[in-house]
Amino acid sequence: MDYKDTVKIMIGHGLIKKQKVDFSHIEALLLRAQKDIVAAEANLKIDEEVTYNYAYLAMLRCGRSIVFMKGYRSVDGQQHKTIIELSGEILGKEFKNIVKKFDRMRRKRNQFTYDPFLPVSKIEAENALKTAEEFVKIVLKLVQK
């Protein structure tokens, strides 16, 4: 399935809708994503869960910016999953591995958000931060084109 097919299916299922491209909105998301990376780094020695969460949020904001750039927005009850799937289609096969990591981070974040006994290890937090930094760089390059 390609990007256009994915968009048709997502619109048909009420997962996304058309939206006018607003570059100030995209820019604000990308600036916030960069701040999220700084916050994630700053918290690594204090709280692994906070680092993981901010790393994930940086990626989510970048994913949303990619989707907005194409003139769509997610509108369903599973917005995070929709953003990850659609941003992966937009980025293409070259970035399949990092999009898979993004989705694993989404699931892990959901688990530890609702289960207070599920820890986030320092290694998981460090890996999440590294993945987020890479994803933010990819999206910034894409947006600059």
| Cα gap 22→46, rounded to integer Å | 36
DSSP 48-75: HHHHHHHHHHHHHHHHHHHHHHTTEEE-
- The CATH number for 3-144, chosen from 2.40.110.20, 1.10.600.10, 1.20.120.330, 1.50.10.20, is 1.20.120.330
12, with CB counted inside 10 A (0-12, 13-18, 19+), is exposed
Task: Supply the pLDDT for residue 52.
Answer: 97
| Cα gap 38→65, rounded to integer Å | 19
Per-residue pLDDT of the chain (145 residues; tens, 9 = 90+): 788 999 999 999 999 999 999 999 999 999 999 999 999 999 999 999 999 999 999 999 999 999 999 999 999 778 999 999 999 999 999 999 999 999 999 999 999 989 988 889 999 999 999 999 999 999 999 988 7
Task: Supply the pLDDT for residue 78.
Answer: 86
Q: What pTM was estimated for this model as a whole? A: 0.94
Task: Supply the pLDDT for residue 144.
Answer: 86
